[in-house]
Chains A and B, each alone.
Chain A
């Protein structure tokens, strides 16, 4: 097996070679572990590499000697897992020093499901601390590089997962998306990222940042793998009260090609403002032309509250975070400051030294927004805006089936370019936040390259309409046939850190 073969593989292709005994799950697992050993000292996508566990698991799977017909959907497929999703016995740090010594005693629901489906875990991937950031620069353990250009960020917060899939250190990965944390790094790394409808995938075992926004998502090299992985991880869970009471996704919601072309494609003018890099706008215009030629009806729509979504998000998300992160107090687990003088000192020093700067900023912001006298002015207003944003999308999806927008206003930026100015960094998520606030599903797809950097396209749909999004994305992927990323090595000489 070499990289030129594997770069285009879907899960079905792995299963084909397994069935033909051309290669075994152990060999495939070893292939990816070798890739990690080759690239990750420069790329730094992983925080934990579980070589022993992964090979052990591959061996167990092989011993089961299943016929192809019985192969569970993720049989023998190695995966990378964002470090805010709990795997029993493995470190789960959330990219934070405050959890540097923490190992989870239980599996997240998605991990249980993937285990049952035959998946193999290569390790845990780097992220912005507690998923707060858009570049991995907020990781307590150093940033991950963009495989296309190591002087640039991979996006965030699921930057480690996205980079590992783009660099083929893993064929697929899980991330989490609170305001764009799956889609933005997928766009920056030239892969496919899906944020499902809020409640479509159980959050049990996903370490909370902002509970009403957090959603586990997938990062893959092609739409078909997104579909397979999403099918496995979705569905009701009695351990998560916010999980929707629906069975797992099944692709019987799939549309035949002639049906796909009947979809009405919406374009929202608010997403094509002068602040967007013309390269991105231009590429999307080209795609719209292609779609028109293919017979799609393109409809211009408006989402008037888009501008307020970002501001409201930076009230609601930090407010929830300030409460969710209160448990990291140095009492029962995790990091504790040395030689505390008393309880107050233990709390203060543990938290001020255990958390990074951006996390502290958001805790303070959120605490302020929930304080007595400010709750109505901030949190409540934020929630009201959220309702309006949601309504915008509802109106819009009465007119069209899917919406096409840029994922990000800019191409992958350089390290340090935005990290000095939090507001500039927050703006990197301006096109992914409104849909997150509305809880609707959204997919990020690589739609081409500018020079050596990938350009992302976002496909949005109505709640629980992942079927439409995935059908459309499958069609578009085939029509555009953008080559998947191939990273032979990560050349750190170009680095300008």
Chain B
């Protein structure tokens, strides 16, 4: 059979950037903490404890829903999702059901250079569960442990409509969603660390108007595995149908090591979660002014900003994409432009040198010791040819390390551009004398020899000579030779 129509929908969970958990005061920075060190009676669900909503988490969730153009509901209700699992200490998860934070939104992202819109079904807030530990030094043999540190951390769940039609499109959508939640500063969106998680629904059919049987795929821990798992599923379902079989409705787990999906739960085992409004929490009334305030505090979204960068600053799509991946980097870039209206020049230096240094130090621009003004001091010197690119790179590295200003570093290291014609002339003559063969080559018409001689001059001056002066003097002196 030839034409298969693929339908994909995503369910994305993002950990919200709050100091405290969703219903108690426990901290959320659980990575690397000893098991059960960030817990209290509330998040452990101890008898007698009661949840109290964290307003900051609600703000961030509303911000997320708003950035996805959702209709924000005036009354938000928490529901209990009842099921038994050892990582769920209350026997239910506080989540949302028919009155979530936002419904009927949309999200735009670029796929193959084209703008694509995916509808957002709903955005809701819920608490995370704990984590089972199957091996560890303190565990008795044949025993598993539960770490409740993650339990109660606020998550926002974004559910898309099944508007995606290719694994690559799904990956791009997910990447763009990750960029969005980072950009609006509600989540750090780190898939490897689990602060962004994605499940996918996928079905295939022979006709675009026919919906195939929905299979849910879970346990994909990277953007690549989302892509790989979906590709695998399409292939598997095609084979299944082409062999005359049928695809059962089920949940499957992605096995990262073997790159296959494995059936984990059939439709008949689907759980009845017995949702009902949590009587321990009052409905949250979202006031008109709160909606207004959330909307007006939203920054320009990544896609809009990227398009503006491409138009206003004439940047390429790939350069613009890199800059908007992180809101503070995009802000940094735009602050720099205020000081010198050469966007492409600044973009190049930002994308190559600034990001290189951030990577080396494993920090983001906000954590770095560099500011737009200190960076621009350096870039202006390059622009005025007061300093060579090579030197500037070394100085920038030093600025990232120590936080010093460019001129201070240069003074301390004895770096100053040689602008004295006399001095350069002296060095040029010296180089000409020492390299008669190259001079002969140049005079014989070999242009390359000029670059060699130029390089020798720069080497002798440790890159400090004004390159333009070197070029003109070298030219002059060589013509004098000839």
A residues near B, CB below 8 A?
84-86, 92, 94, 99, 102, 104-106, 108, 203-208, 210-212, 238-242, 319-320, 322-323, 325-327, 329, 331-333, 343, 347, 367, 370-372, 375, 379
The 3 closest A-B pairs by CB, nearest first: A326-B91, A211-B279, A370-B274
- Does B80 lie within 8 Å of A203, measured CB to CB? no
* Least distance between B78 CB and chain A CB atoms (Å): 10
For B84, the closest partner residue in chain A by CB is: A347
Q: Which of B41-49, B444-452, B473-481 contacts A (4 or more CB under 8 A)?
A: B41-49
- Does B52 lie within 8 Å of A331, measured CB to CB? no
Taking A239-B52, A241-B51, A327-B47 as contacts, is the C-beta distance between A343 and B86 under 8 angstroms? yes
19 contacts between A and B (CB under 8 A): A85-B48, A92-B47, A94-B47, A106-B41, A106-B48, A204-B48, A204-B49, A204-B50, A205-B49, A208-B48, A211-B278, A241-B50, A242-B279, A323-B92, A323-B276, A331-B89, A367-B274, A370-B276, A375-B274
- Does B91 lie within 8 Å of A329, measured CB to CB? yes
The reply on B82 being an interface residue by CB < 8 A is yes
Give the number of A-B contacts (CB < 8 Å): 101
The reply on B301 being an interface residue by CB < 8 A is no
For A380, the closest partner residue in chain B by CB is: B276
**Cβ contacts under 8 Å, A210 to chain B:** 279
The reply on B118 being an interface residue by CB < 8 A is no
Taking A241-B53, A329-B91, A372-B272 as contacts, is the C-beta distance between A323 and B82 under 8 angstroms? yes
**Cβ contacts under 8 Å, B47 to chain A:** 86, 92, 94, 99, 102, 104, 207-208, 327
Residue in B44, B52, B146, B280 whose CB lies within 8 Å of A208: B280
Considering the chains assembled together, what is the distance between the CA atoms of A326 and B91 in angstroms? 5
The reply on B305 being an interface residue by CB < 8 A is no
Residue in A104, A326, A333 whose CB lies within 8 Å of B90: A326
Known: A92-B48, A332-B148, A333-B46. 10 other contacts (CB 8 A): A85-B48, A106-B41, A204-B49, A207-B47, A239-B50, A240-B52, A242-B281, A323-B80, A329-B86, A332-B89
**Cβ contacts under 8 Å, B361 to chain A:** none
The reply on B282 being an interface residue by CB < 8 A is yes
**Cβ contacts under 8 Å, B41 to chain A:** 105-106
For A85, the closest partner residue in chain B by CB is: B48
For B40, the closest partner residue in chain A by CB is: A106
Considering the chains assembled together, what is the distance between the CA atoms of A373 and B274 in angstroms? 10
Considering the chains assembled together, what is the distance between the CA atoms of A323 and B17 in angstroms? 29
For A206, the closest partner residue in chain B by CB is: B48
User: Chain A interface mostly helix, strand, loop or mixed?
Assistant: loop
- Does B282 lie within 8 Å of A370, measured CB to CB? no
Chain B 75-112 against A: per-residue CB contact (8 Å), 1 yes, 0 no?
00000101010100111100000000000000000000
Considering the chains assembled together, what is the distance between the CA atoms of A332 and B147 in angstroms? 11
* Least distance between B88 CB and chain A CB atoms (Å): 9
- Does B282 lie within 8 Å of A242, measured CB to CB? yes
* Least distance between A337 CB and chain B CB atoms (Å): 14
Considering the chains assembled together, what is the distance between the CA atoms of A269 and B406 in angstroms? 91
* Least distance between A245 CB and chain B CB atoms (Å): 11
- Does B91 lie within 8 Å of A211, measured CB to CB? no
Considering the chains assembled together, what is the distance between the CA atoms of A86 and B280 in angstroms? 18
**Cβ contacts under 8 Å, B49 to chain A:** 106, 204-205
Chain B 140-180 against A: per-residue CB contact (8 Å), 1 yes, 0 no?
00000010100000000000000000000000000000000
Taking A323-B92, A326-B90 as contacts, is the C-beta distance between A370 and B52 under 8 angstroms? no
* Least distance between A338 CB and chain B CB atoms (Å): 16
Considering the chains assembled together, what is the distance between the CA atoms of A379 and B274 in angstroms? 11
Residue in A332, A371, A375, A379 whose CB lies within 8 Å of B44: A332
Considering the chains assembled together, what is the distance between the CA atoms of A359 and B213 in angstroms? 41
For A211, the closest partner residue in chain B by CB is: B279
Residue in A205, A320, A371 whose CB lies within 8 Å of B48: A205
For B85, the closest partner residue in chain A by CB is: A343
- Does B280 lie within 8 Å of A331, measured CB to CB? no
- Does A211 lie within 8 Å of B89, measured CB to CB? no
* Least distance between A130 CB and chain B CB atoms (Å): 10
- Does A240 lie within 8 Å of B274, measured CB to CB? no
* Least distance between B35 CB and chain A CB atoms (Å): 12
* Least distance between B142 CB and chain A CB atoms (Å): 12
* Least distance between B92 CB and chain A CB atoms (Å): 5
**Cβ contacts under 8 Å, A325 to chain B:** 91
- Does B276 lie within 8 Å of A371, measured CB to CB? no
Considering the chains assembled together, what is the distance between the CA atoms of A320 and B275 in angstroms? 11
**Cβ contacts under 8 Å, A106 to chain B:** 41, 46, 48-49
* Least distance between A329 CB and chain B CB atoms (Å): 6
Residue in A203, A320, A331 whose CB lies within 8 Å of B146: A331
- Does A212 lie within 8 Å of B279, measured CB to CB? yes
For B282, the closest partner residue in chain A by CB is: A241
Considering the chains assembled together, what is the distance between the CA atoms of A333 and B280 in angstroms? 22
Taking A326-B91, A327-B91, A331-B89 as contacts, is the C-beta distance between A242 and B46 under 8 angstroms? no
Residues of B10-59 at the interface with A, using a CB-CB cut-off of 8 Å, are 41, 44-53
Taking A320-B279, A326-B91, A327-B89 as contacts, is the C-beta distance between A372 and B274 under 8 angstroms? yes
* Least distance between B44 CB and chain A CB atoms (Å): 7
Considering the chains assembled together, what is the distance between the CA atoms of A425 and B116 in angstroms? 64
**Cβ contacts under 8 Å, A372 to chain B:** 272, 274
* Least distance between A124 CB and chain B CB atoms (Å): 13
* Least distance between B385 CB and chain A CB atoms (Å): 64
Which interface residue of B41, B47, B275 has the most chain A CB atoms within 10 A?
A: B47
**Cβ contacts under 8 Å, A367 to chain B:** 274
* Least distance between A107 CB and chain B CB atoms (Å): 9
Considering the chains assembled together, what is the distance between the CA atoms of A308 and B52 in angstroms? 33
Taking A92-B47, A343-B86 as contacts, is the C-beta distance between A332 and B280 under 8 angstroms? no
* Least distance between A215 CB and chain B CB atoms (Å): 12
